[in-house]
Amino acid sequence: MVRVVAAGHVNWDVTLRVEALPEPDGEARIVSQRRSGGGSAANAAVALAGFGVDTGVVGSVGDDENGLLARRELERVGVDLRGLRVVEDAETSVKYLVVDGDGEVMVLGNDGANEAVAPGDVDPGYVRPADHVHLTSQHPDTAARLADLAADAGATVSFDPGRRLDERDYAATIEATDVLFVNDREALEVLEGDAAYPESEVSDQVVVVKHGAEGATVHTPAASFEHPGFDVEPVDTTGAGDAFAAGFIAVLLDHPGDYERALEFANACGALAAQSEGARTAPSFPEVEAFLGEQF
């Protein structure tokens, strides 16, 4: 049985490393190029599988070569693909990630087939047995459907809406979410009385605010906890947020309510992921434990 279902985008990534991003009408030399699977749902699923959690993915790819490569990568690490839709005569979404010398990322991409899962395509029999459903950026109606199925079955729900939070109405999904992951900018929209996301809708939820290199804060109904993060030299921040979310979820699965422990572990996952190139760089449990041991 799949213990965690991760739902959202499954992409193929092309990572281009440059010394610095060019100015308008300028040019930058490509230092290195890397191709691998990507997409927040797929990244989180891979990370959770690496932590020994039985994980499946709900998403969609095209029936092209990139989709085949993405599926093979997921299968290789043990991610269950029964919830992954392969769309005939469609292109898998490709994201071009331009990474500068400081590890900052600029993303270019096409939508492709990564939002071909409509609410009616979701198999309730695949979602309901799970202990937890982790939602990432996807069509709002599909996200809401998945959240409702999980809640009705008694599973917990987390949501990391990502860059498109300000473009889409995710209010219904947020209302059904137990753990919400946002960055500082997104937190202003969710927690500061934005019309689409009134504060009353999230007051009884756990909200994790990611501060990048400055760590993160978790707000619970009972208390708030902060962690300053770890002082590391970033190589590529692509996927660090997905590794962070996966680490947080993995701890809470076995230690419900231990938010301080989850926050520290998640920050370590994000820091280690940022020290490696590519989106699929989530560390294993032993690697995180060794890293944490070195900090004290």
3 state SS of 135: strand
Whole-angstrom distance between the N-terminal and C-terminal Cα of the chain? 38
Spatial CB neighbours of 201, under 8 Å, sequence gap ≥ 6: 171, 174, 175
**What stretches of the chain adopt beta strand conformation (E)?**
4-7, 11-18, 30-38, 55-62, 84-87, 94-99, 105-109, 132-136, 156-160, 179-183, 206-210, 216-219, 224-227
13 is catalytic: no
Q: Pick the closest to residue 134 from 73, 182, 179 (CA basis).
A: 179
* Catalytic residue from among 160, 242, 254, 258: 242
Q: Could you give the angle at the alpha carbon of 243 between the alpha carbons of 148 and 213, nearest 5°?
A: 115
Measured N-to-C along each axis, helices 240-254 and 259-274 cross at an angle, to the nearest 10 degrees, of 150
Alpha-carbon gap, residue 136 to 166, rounded angstroms = 14
Question: Burial level of 195, CB count in 10 A (0-12/13-18/19+)?
Answer: exposed
Alpha-carbon gap, residue 248 to 208, rounded angstroms = 10
Alpha-carbon gap, residue 273 to 223, rounded angstroms = 28
Task: Locate 29 and state its tokens.
Answer: 């030399």
β-pairing verdict for 30-38 and 105-109? unpaired
Ordered DSSP codes for 244-275? HHHHHHHHHHHSTT-HHHHHHHHHHHHHHHHT
- Which residues are identified as catalytic? 242
